[in-house]
């Protein structure tokens, strides 16, 4: 089907989705409030992360940082520790930058921005997140177009446009803006946007056969009529991830473990890691690496292989635990620290890439 014929959304779309949502919506903690800060925290956490994973993080985060002022003032290590395991750490760094702007006299003087346009001015708030907050917390008639909405709408219209192209995302958003503006009945923009989230998670599934028999839009869905639901949405072919081989070293002096802080910019910026080297080192090479740090190895034990997938990179890891003679209070590299396992778990944010060795 041609692009120009893929855009006529059913007039009953809002009514059908919001009615379905009212009857089937999930009971989630962030839906118990219209507080824009809480909505913001949940929406940022839910990017690239499953709902089941987010719930305990969300509750803990709000208990420690209950408002934008607390977030703005939070020390970096504590902030990253609260986020540890969620990944994509730039999300929480941008949240803190945005909170500092909200609290600044040169920004919003402590008043949370209450419109889509003002929210868009903040770091890390793209069209989706700003639309979600504006519609849920403030009732503004703006869409929040995420992967769920794109999947549902492209299946609904058997839409051939590539959803990973920004121009097509903007076009679909504009179609929803027109539809929402024309809606004469009283409706909740926030409920409409959240209906996409729940329908996409419960019915119009991404990685499994869609449950079309439960869908309120099945009579309107062109992909369903064609029997081609899983042919949509369309995306450009993905580039292959770059493979990096690494050797992780868990270097111990009795109960203390050596960890390093990563650079302040780049992948996993500012987080803590075990010393590591490019390539898969042999035991002899790993011992030599340790000696080059000025340490005296006493024992080496192989650790299991592990793999971690980033967006564009894939780490294939092997590792060793190396017992060394006492550090005598010194660390071999500037920026390194010696910590007990308990201190590591409590105070030092370490990315999940190293989970297998932690």
Nearest to 181 by CA among 192, 195, 170: 192
Angle at 179 between CA 175 and CA 182, to 5 degrees: 140
| Cβ-Cβ contacts under 8 Å for 13 (sequence gap 6 or more) | 156, 179, 217, 220
**SS3 of 207, please?**
coil
**What is the signed CA dihedral for 44, 45, 46, 49, rounded to 10 degrees?**
130
C-beta contacts of 265-271 below 8 A and 24+ residues apart: 267/310, 267/313, 268/89, 268/351, 268/353, 269/89, 269/90, 269/93, 270/76, 270/80, 270/89, 271/80, 271/89, 271/349, 271/350, 271/351
48 torsion bin: left (phi>0), alpha (psi -120 to 50), beta (else): left
Catalytic residue among 4, 43, 229, 255: 43
Active-site residue 43, yes or no? Answer: yes
Catalytic residues: 43
């Amino acid at each position: 089907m041609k692009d120009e014929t893929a855009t006529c959304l059913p007039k009953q779309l809002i009514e059908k989705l919001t009615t379905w949502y009212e009857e089937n919506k999930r009971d989630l903690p962030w839906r118990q409030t219209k507080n824009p800060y809480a909505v913001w925290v949940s929406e940022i956490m839910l990017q690239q992360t499953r709902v089941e994973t987010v719930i305990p993080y969300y509750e803990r985060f709000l208990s420690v940082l209950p408002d934008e002022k607390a977030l703005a003032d939070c020390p970096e290590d504590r902030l990253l520790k609260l986020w540890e395991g969620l990944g994509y750490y730039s999300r929480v760094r941008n949240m803190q930058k945005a909170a500092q702007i909200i609290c600044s006299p040169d920004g919003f003087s402590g008043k949370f921005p209450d419109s889509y346009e003002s929210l868009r001015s903040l770091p890390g708030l793209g069209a989706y997140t700003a639309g979600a907050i504006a519609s849920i917390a403030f009732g503004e008639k703006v869409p929040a177009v995420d992967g769920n909405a794109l999947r549902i709408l492209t299946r609904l219209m058997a839409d051939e446009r590539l959803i990973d192209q920004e121009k097509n995302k903007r076009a679909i958003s504009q179609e929803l803006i027109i539809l929402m503006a024309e809606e004469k009945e009283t409706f909740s923009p926030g409920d409409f946007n959240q209906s996409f989230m729940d329908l996409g998670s419960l019915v119009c599934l991404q990685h499994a056969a869609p449950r079309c028999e439960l869908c309120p839009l099945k009579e309107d869905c062109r992909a369903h009529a064609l029997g081609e639901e899983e042919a949509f949405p369309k995306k450009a072919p993905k580039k292959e991830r770059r493979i990096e081989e690494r050797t992780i070293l868990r270097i111990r002096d009795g109960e203390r473990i050596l960890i390093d802080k990563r650079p302040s910019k780049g992948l996993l910026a500012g987080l803590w890691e075990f010393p590591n080297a490019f390539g898969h080192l042999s035991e002899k090479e790993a011992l030599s690496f340790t000696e080059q740090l000025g340490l005296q190895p006493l024992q080496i034990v192989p650790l299991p292989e592990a793999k971690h997938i980033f967006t564009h990179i894939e780490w294939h890891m092997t590792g060793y635990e190396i017992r060394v003679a006492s550090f005598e209070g010194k660390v071999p590299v500037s920026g390194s620290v010696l910590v007990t396992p308990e201190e590591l778990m409590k105070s030092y944010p370490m990315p999940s890439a190293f989970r297998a060795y932690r």
